Amino acid sequence: MKTIRWKAGLCAFVVASLSAGMICAAEDVETEPAAERMAAVSEDRTMNETEAALEPFSLSLRDGTVLTIQNESGMAIQSAEVAGDEADEPLSESGESESAESGSDAAEENDTLIVTLVSGDGAEHLFEEFPASPENPVLISDDGFLFLKYTGSDGNSVYAYETADEVTFEKPKTKYITDRVYIRSEPSQDSEILGVAELGSEVKVFAARPKWCLVESGDLRGYVGRARISPSKEAAEAAVATEETLRAEIAAAAARAAAQAQAARSAAPARNGNTVVSRQWVEDCDGSGNGYYVVKHANGSVTYEDG
């Protein structure tokens, strides 16, 4: 098939510090409803404020549209090549198309592009599932990898990941868990679950790839989805506070429901106390033919009525 490529003009000037913004592939964990309610905010809360941004750069798409991308990656981009979805190259194994493991990762729509960005140091960064029409696109980075953050159709943050091999760090990095997540034996959704890294806990990161981090948590050593890790302790503490607030709200709602149910049970006998369950005629034993009724009520009381 014919591959069409465009060379995009780029505007990028190095400005200050490296962004600490974290994006990542969130892994689904079996948790109570409170965690499900937090799913929408868990991605944004792992992000860190960027100290300084580079000038945005433009990318010319197949239909002639010029896409402006904000650059908060801390990396100058000197060139870009874009190929449409007609490219002959298949997705490589490191693309890891695992939607369940990575939350809202890769492109949300089927219309994707293959994009190569070349940073100021000459390194190439390949995106095999770059969205064709991202809304509010921002280029960010972590551990030397580039990611495109944009707004999905549901209003939540979505991420496209570059394709890259695993990198081992000379010294482990200290990071923090921003949502309860499985620790796996391999960087794959299908690999063995070794345990769970708890929300707010500190881990040591020994290696990383775009969607996964190799961590040590207590006696466990394995991979977790990048979306659940942040270099910011404050981000983890904020996540803990959010969960505690949600848990408190759920507990309060459950207590109110229990109190209302108890009040309803307590009020039931009073409302039904005069309800007649049975009425039995009893004749006087003097043979007069007179008598009375024995009346039983729903609350267990008995009354007598003249005949």
pLDDT tens-place values along the chain, 307 residues long? 333 333 333 333 322 333 333 334 344 433 333 333 333 333 333 434 344 568 888 888 777 888 899 999 988 998 888 875 443 444 344 444 343 344 344 433 457 889 999 888 888 899 998 888 889 999 999 998 999 999 988 888 888 999 999 999 999 999 999 999 999 999 999 999 999 999 999 999 999 999 999 999 999 999 999 989 999 999 999 999 999 999 999 999 999 998 998 887 766 555 555 677 888 888 777 666 677 888 887 777 888 887 6
Note the pTM of the prediction, 2 decimals. Answer: 0.59
How far apart CA 214 and CA 193 sit, in angstroms, is 13
Identify how many contiguous H helices and E strands the chain contains and give both numbers.
2, 19
How far apart CA 226 and CA 185 sit, in angstroms, is 15
Confidence (pLDDT) at 230: 92
How far apart CA 20 and CA 142 sit, in angstroms, is 6
Confidence (pLDDT) at 52: 52
Confidence (pLDDT) at 102: 41
Confidence (pLDDT) at 126: 93
Identify whether the C-beta of residue 304 lies closer than 8 Å to the C-beta of residue 293.
yes
Identify whether the C-beta of residue 280 lies closer than 8 Å to the C-beta of residue 294.
yes
Instruction: Please say whether the dihedral angle defined by the alpha carbons of residues 160, 125, 95 and 91, taken in this order, is positive or negative.
Output: positive
Contacts of 194 (CB under 8 A, 6+ apart): 182, 183, 184, 185, 220, 221, 222
The C-alpha angle with vertex 21 and arms to 143 and 164, in degrees rounded to 5, equals 35
Confidence (pLDDT) at 209: 95
Confidence (pLDDT) at 307: 67
The C-alpha angle with vertex 166 and arms to 170 and 226, in degrees rounded to 5, equals 95
